[in-house]
Amino acid sequence: MKEKISVGILGATGSVGQKFIELLSNHPWFEISEIAASDKSAGKKYKDATTWNMTNLLPNRIAEMIVKSCLPNLNSKIIFSALDSSVAGKIEENFAKNGYIVISNSKNHRFDKDVPLIIPEVNSEHLELIRSQNFGEGAIVTNPNCSTIGLAIALKPIHDNFGLEQVNVITMQAISGAGYPGIPSMDIQDNVIPYISGEEEKMQLEPLKILGEIYEDGIKDTDIQISAQCNRVPVIDGHLECVQMKLKKKCTKEDIIKVWREFKGEPQKLNLPFAPEKPIYYFEEERFPQPKLHRNVDKGMAVSIGRLRECSLFDFKFVIISHNTIRGAAGGTILIAELMKAKGYY
Ligand code: NAP
């Protein structure tokens, strides 16, 4: 690409916003031109408006940038949104109405009939939905919930090959998933919190739309029954999920590992910059996968799976790890923007 594409970030001061800045600082296609957040931050230099929490140094160019308000007067046509969901709905709509392409991490528009809920390796064809939106040149595309993404990537090749009937999932989710400053240390140290507001509902519903089929009048959800229980645990990054599944077709453990290992999607075929070489890594070691060891596999964009075994209640059970702010948020959203560019949506 001769000239980089200017992008803006809404909610740039938060946990996901910082991850966008870290991941986009050397991106071959995109350049951060504008950053925006709440009125409390607007008008300040970025370095004074945020508490930088990433392990890479804050780039000087961004540190000195003045934070803007979330108003649709930005120069960049491509907008990444990492806004708090209490405000994301209206702000994102306002941007789309004014001709911006908004790719969002917030829950607000995920179930709008004409808004695609995209995991590039899983349902890139759902992007066609934006053609039925009434935003003129603008559009809204959403990235699923961080725990849903790991689960849906793991389930996609299984659903395609053997058919899923029932899925039971229990999560152990990292504290960075609660934003910054997040959960008080007195609450999470030496503890597990067996409740994350709204999370179980998202995990039970989002995969049905993601794995659904697109028709002229929208998406027809798939018919898997999913039950989820979500827990917050004292891990910084990386959501772990213990999954049990009942299949429609008989198969062996080896059949499942084979379809996971062979799984590839559009991002791999198109060789997109943020695409992991392989979306799924299967580990044979019994004590793997673990958040500390596997959250960053293949740039933090791959899903690590292990411990596939027969289940006495369902057919099989296994364990997933995926990085919640990379694959599950900023990285996944950047991959959507790359896919949309490669497919000519802007
Ligand atoms: P966060 O750390 O709390 O950041 C929220 C951002 O929203 C901040 O930049 C904040 O700006 C901005 N904001 C708050 N009120 C605003 C207002 N009235 N007007 C404009 N901007 C406002 O949250 P986060 O964890 O980054 O999450 C951001 C979004 O991504 C949420 O919708 C979340 O559900 C979703 N998500 C998060 C994760 C994760 O792992 N953390 C994963 C997937 C999806 P100020 O600093 O100026 O207040």
| Residues of the chain above pLDDT 70, percent | 100
Pocket probe for ligand 1: among 84, 109, 143, 176, the residue whose CB has the most ligand atoms within 8 Å is 84
Supply the pLDDT for residue 311. Answer: 98
Mean pLDDT of 106-129: 98
Q: What are the sequence ranges of the domains in the chain? A: 5-145+330-342, 146-323
Q: Each residue of 148-167: pLDDT tens digit? A: 999 999 999 999 999 999 99
CATH of region 5-145+330-342, choose from 2.60.40.1120, 3.40.50.720, 2.40.110.10, 3.40.50.150: 3.40.50.720
Mean pLDDT of 293-312: 98
CATH of region 146-323, choose from 3.40.50.720, 3.30.465.10, 3.40.1010.10, 3.30.360.10: 3.30.360.10
Nearest of 81, 146, 158 to residue 115 by alpha carbon? 81
Supply the pLDDT for residue 1. Answer: 72
Q: Each residue of 221-278: pLDDT tens digit? A: 999 999 999 999 999 999 999 999 999 999 999 999 999 999 999 999 999 999 999 9
Which strands, in side-by-side order, build the sheet including 5-10?
68-69, 30-37, 5-10, 78-81, 101-104, 139-142
Establish whether 230 is a catalytic residue.
Answer: no
Mean pLDDT of 316-335: 98
Decide: 13 in ligand 1 pocket, CB within 6 A. yes
Distances (CA, A) of 166 to 204, 240, 345: 11, 19, 35
Decide: 35 in ligand 1 pocket, CB within 6 A. no
**Three-state SS for 96?**
helix
Mean pLDDT of 71-81: 98
The encoded tokens of residue 218 equal: 């929208």
Q: Each residue of 27-74: pLDDT tens digit? A: 999 999 999 999 999 999 999 999 999 999 999 999 999 999 999 999
Has this prediction a pTM greater than 0.95? Answer: yes
Q: Each residue of 202-216: pLDDT tens digit? A: 999 999 999 999 999
